Amino acid sequence: MFHLRLVPDNTRIAFMKGRFAGIGLSVLLSLASVVLYFYPGLNYGIDFAGGIVIEARTPETSNFGKMRTVLHDLNMGSVALQEFGSANDVLIRLERQPGDDAAQQRAADRVRATLAKEFPGTQVRRVEAVGASVSGELFRNGMLALGLAMGAMLVYIWFRFEWQFGLGAVVTLLLDVTKTIGFYVLFDLQFNLTAIAAILTIMGYSINDKVVVYDRMRENLRIYKKMPLRELIDLSINETLNRTLGTSMSTLLSILPLAFFGGEALQEFGIVLIFGIFLATSSSIFIAAPILLFLGENRLRRGAPEAAPAAGQPQQAP
Amino acid sequence: MLYFSRWKIYTILVVCLLGIVLALPNVLGRDTLAALPSWYGQNRVHLGLDLRGGSHLLLEVDMGAVVRERLEGLVDGARTQLRTANIGYTGLSAGDRQVTIQLRDPAQAEEAVKQLKQLAITVGGGPLGGGLPDITTSVNGSTVTVALSDEAVRQRAQQAVEQSIEIVRRRIDETGVSEPTIARQGMDRILVQLPGVDDPDRVKRLLGTTAKMTFRLVDANADPSTGRAPPGSEILQSTEGGRGGQGAYVIRRKVEVDGANLTNATAGTNSQNGEWVVNFEFDSQGARRFAETTKQNVGRPFAIVLDNKVISAPVIREPITGGRGQISGNFNAQSANDLAVLLRAGALPAPLKVIEERTVGPDLGADSIRAGLISVIAGFTMVCIYMIAAYGLFGVMACLGLLVNLVLTIAALSVMQATLTLPGIAGILLMLGLAVDANILINERIREEAKKGRTPFAAMEAGFSRAYATIIDANLTTAIKMALLFIFGVGTVKGFAVTITFGILISMFTATVLVRLMMVSWLRRSKPAALPV
C-alpha cells in the first residue's frame, strides 16, 4: 500500500553539523529584524495606532485619482487608498486625527458623508474608527498577553523538563518572535490585534514542535545511555522528522485558504501564520536542539559519559 | 489502552450523537427551525457583528464632568450656607476635587465647618443606611477645605455609569434597533452592539447628546454682547444661530423647572405655521412649578436650555397651568423627533463620548460568512487528502474524527452561546490542522513500533500510550496561549481564542479516544498480519 512520506524512513541527516550555520543565520535574521523594528518600524494598524479604516464598494471601477483628491481636500492628514479583492473595492485608511477620541468619530462621519455625496451609489461596507485611549489600551493588553505567554511557556517547559530544555525553548521563542516582527516590517503588513493572535499562535505552534522533539530526546537519553549527545540529538530529530513535517503540512494546508479567501484582515493573518509554520519547523531543528548541545551533555545526563563504544546500539532502560 | 468496555463505547457514541443533534439547528432552514421547539431551534451559533453586520460602539462616560458638576454644586451651596450663617469670606474657589474657602475671621472656622457639613450627600450604604458623607472638611488657620473623598468619587462614577446604561438603553430602544447589547466595560465605559445597523450616525448623535434640559428665566437687564454676565447669570449661545439677530442670551443660573420633571415628549407640527415642534408634559411637581413661574413672570422671556444651549426663549404671554407646553426652535422632522426621544428617555448624568466605532455592513458580513465556509471546506478537504495519502485507512479514520471534532465544536459553540467571529473562523481552520497533529503523532509512533517488529496489537498499544503524553503537552500549551488571548484580547479576536480552545479540547476526545475506538474495532475485526501505516 502506498503512503506519502515527506521524508523517507531511516533518514539520518546530521543536522548538528549545521548547528553553527543554523544558529548563526537565525541570530543574524533576528538582529536584522530588530533593526527593522526600529527602522523603518512596524506599520501599526488601526487597533494600535488609532485612526480610521473604511471599506467601500463603488458601483463601477473605483476612481482612485478622484477619490484621493476629494479625500485629500478634507484635510485629514495622510489618506491611503488600497484596492483589494475586486477593482470596485477600495480600502481607505486615515491616520489618527488630532484631538480626542471623539475627533475620530467625527472624521469617520465626514468621510462617510463625502463618499455618499461625491460617489453616489457607493456602499460603505465597513467602518472602523478608533481613538487614542482605546488603541493605547489595546496595545498595552496585547503586549501584556505576549509577555505573559512567554513567561507561561517558560514555566510550563521548566516544570515538564529540565531547565536546559526550558532555556532552549525560550531562546528559540525569542528568535521566532523577533523574526515574525521582522516579517511584518519587511512586507509592510498591518500590525493589529490579529498580529498578536498570530504571534501567540506561532509561539504555541513552535512550542508544540519543541515539546515533541524534546520528548523524544528525553526518551532517547534514557534508552541510549552512552550515545554522544550530538548523535542522540540528530537521532531524535530524524526520528520525529516525519511527524514534524507532517504536522507542518497539515497545518499549512488548513491555513492556506485563509491567505486566499480571508478578506482584508485575515489574509495577512494567514500569510503570517504560513511564515510562522516554516519558522517554527526550522527552529525546532536548527535552533532548539543545538542550544541543548551547547548547554552540554554533562548537565543533561548528570554525569560524565565515556566515549561511546555502544553508540547507536539501543540499551534497555532499567 | 486498547480495551474499551461496553459502557465506554456507548458513552462515546452517545457523545458523538448528542453533538450532531446539538449542532443540527445551525444547518437547518428557517422553515424547519420554525417547526421545532424554540429551545432547540434557538440552539445556534451566535454570529458576531463582523459576520451578521452591525455596529459596535464603545462609549466613555466623562467622569471629569461628574466631579466638576458636584464641585459646582458645592461652591453654590457653600456660598448660600455661609451667607445665611453670616460668615464672611474673601475667597471661594473650586480646585481638583476640592473647594477652598478663605475666611475673613479664623475664629469662625468651626462654625463654617458645621455649616459646610450640611452640604454632604450620603453615598454608599444600603436600605438600612450605613453610607458615608461624600465630603470631608479640614481647617488650616483661616482656610477651610471641603474635599470630595475618593470613595465618594468612585461611588458617584459607579452611579453615573449605571444611570447612563439605563438611559442609553432607553434611547436605543426608541430607535427600534432589535436585540441591542448594552453592557458595562471596565470602570467608565459602555459597550453598545447594534446588530443590523450599518450607519450608526443617528445613534451616535442620540448618544452623544446629554439632553439636560432646564427651563430658566432670561436676564433681560444684561446685554450678552458685553461678554460679561452679572453674578447668578451666565451667557449661553443660542442654537437658532442668527435668527432674530440674537446669537446669545444672558440666562439666570437658577433652574425654574428641570427636564427631569418631564413625563412625555412628542414631535408634532404647529397648527398655525406648520413648523415642527416638540410637545411636552410635566409631572405634577413640574406642572406646579411651571405654573408658578409663568404666573409670576408674564411678559418676560423664558429660556428653554438644552445642554447649555438656548433652544428658544419665548416671551410668556399668559400663565401656563395645564403642565403642557411646546418647544419651537428651527426644527425639522428629524431633529424634532430626536429631541422628543431624548426628552422621553431622560438626561444622561454625564456626557458620553464615542471612543470606538466598528461597523460592518450586512453585505460584507454575508460575504465573510461565505468566504469562511469555503475556507473551512477547502481546509478540511486538503487536510483529509493529506492524511489519507500519508496514512491510508488510519488517515480515513483520523478524518472521520476530525469531522466529528468540527461538529462537536459547533455544538459546543451553540450550547455555550459563544459568539462566532471572522477570526473565530480562522481559529476553526487552524484547529483543523492542529487537531490531526495528535493522529500524526500516534500513527508515526505506531509505524515506528511496528518497524521494530512488534505485533499489530503491541505496536498500537505502544503507539497510543507513548504519544499520549506528548499530545497532552502540545494541547495544553495551546490552551494556555489561548486563555491569555481570551483574557487580554478584545472584540472579535477573542472569537479566535474561543474556537481554538473549544476545538483543541474536543480534539483530545475525538483524535485520541474516538479514533482509537475506530482503530481498535477495525483491528479486532480484521486481525491483520501487518498494520496499514
pLDDT of residue A315: 45
Sole residue written with cell 509561539: A203
Q: Are residues B34 and B89 in the same domain?
A: no
Please indicate, yes or no, whether residues B433 and B517 belong to a single structural domain of this protein. Answer: yes
- Residue B201 — very low, low, confident or very high, per pLDDT cuts 50/70/90? confident
> Are B389 and B500 in the same domain?
yes
Q: How confident is the model at residue A308 (pLDDT cuts 50, 70, 90)?
A: very low
Q: Give tens-digit pLDDT for A109-146.
A: 889 889 888 888 888 999 999 988 888 988 998 888 88
**Domain harbouring B238, CATH code:** 3.30.1360.200
Asked if the peptide bond before residue B180 counts as cis, ω within 30 degrees of 0, the response is no
Question: What global pTM score does this model have?
Answer: 0.83
Inter-chain residue contact B437 with A251, CB threshold 8 Å: yes
Residue B465 lies in a domain: yes
The separation between CA B332 and the C-alpha centre of its own chain, rounded to angstroms, equals 31
In-domain check, residue B175: no
- Nearest CB to A156; choose among B201, B480, B493: B480
Residue-wise pLDDT tens digits, B414-467: 998 888 998 999 999 999 999 999 999 999 999 989 988 899 999 999 999 888
Indicate the residue of B199, B375, B448 with minimum beta-carbon distance to A261: B375
**Cβ–Cβ below 8 Å for B386 and A265:** no
Residues B531 and B461: their CA atoms lie apart, in Å, by: 12
pLDDT score at A7: 86
User: Does B366 lie in the same domain as B306?
Assistant: no
- Which of these, A77, A53, A190, lies nearest to A125 by C-alpha position? A53
Do B318 and B410 share a domain, yes or no?
no
Residues of A in contact with B471 (CB under 8 A): none
Reference B409, options B511, B500, B518; nearest CA is B500
CATH code of residue B132? 3.30.1360
Same-domain pairing of B122 and B241 = no
Same domain, B222 and B281: yes
- Domains of chain A, first to last: 15-44+135-301 (1.20.1640.10), 51-130 (3.30.70.3400)
For B484, the 3-state DSSP assignment is helix
Considering its fold, how many domains does chain B have in total? 3
Does residue B338 sit within a domain? Answer: no
Same domain? For B422 and B494 the reply is: yes
Which residue, among B454, B477, B504, would best test binding to A if mutated, counting the most A CBs under 10 Å from its CB? B477
Report how far residue B126's alpha carbon sits from residue B139's, in angstroms, rounded to the nearest whole number: 31
Task: Please tell me the distance in Å from B406's CA to the nearest CA on chain A.
Answer: 13
CB interface of A with B, residues 143-162, below 8 Å: 144-145, 148-149, 152-153, 156, 160
**Most B CBs within 10 Å, among A2, A3, A159, A199, to test the B interface:** A3
Residue B353 lies in a domain: no
Lowest mean pLDDT among A255-269, B272-286, B339-353, B483-497: B483-497
Q: Calculate the average pLDDT of chain A.
A: 86
User: Does residue B170 lie within any of the structural domains?
Assistant: no
Q: Per the CB < 8 Å rule, is B477 touching A134? A: no
CB contact under 8 A, B477 and A112: no
Do A258 and B429 count as a contact with CB atoms less than 8 A apart?
yes
- Determine, for residues B374 and A258 on separate chains, whether the beta-carbon distance falls below 8 Å: no
Query: Does the beta carbon of A121 lie under 8 angstroms from any beta carbon of chain B?
Result: no
**Smallest CA–CA distance from A209 into chain B, residue:** B474
- Same domain assignment for residues B45 and B67: no
On chain B, the residues whose CB falls within 8 A of the CB of A212 are 441, 470, 474
Residues B415 and B515 in one domain: yes
Q: How far apart are CA A68 and CA B184, in angstroms?
A: 39
Domain that holds residue B401: 6-51+362-526
Inform me whether the C-beta atom of residue B43 falls under 8 Å from chain A C-beta atoms: no
CATH number of the domain that residue B427 is part of: 1.20.1640.10
Assigned domain for B229 exists? yes
Total length of chain A:
318
pLDDT at residue B399 tops 70: yes
Residues 6+ apart with CB under 8 A from B46: B413, B417, B418, B419, B420
Q: Which residues of A touch B383 (CB under 8 A)?
A: 250, 253-254
User: Is B236's pLDDT higher than 90?
Assistant: no
Residue B172 lies in a domain: no
Contact assignment for A212 to B474 by CB distance below 8 Å: yes
Residue B506 lies in a domain: yes
Same-domain check for residues B444 and B310: no
User: Which of B205, B193, B203 has the alpha carbon at shortest distance from B53?
Assistant: B193
CA-wise closest residue to A272 among A146, A179, A204: A179
Among B108, B129, B155, residue at a domain's last position:
B155
Of B327, B342, B376, which marks where a domain is finished? B327
- pLDDT > 50? residue A309: no
Query: Is B458 found in the same domain as B507?
Result: yes
**Angle at the Cα of B341 (from B339 to B343), degrees rounded to 5?**
70
Give the domain-ending residue among B117, B136, B155.
B155
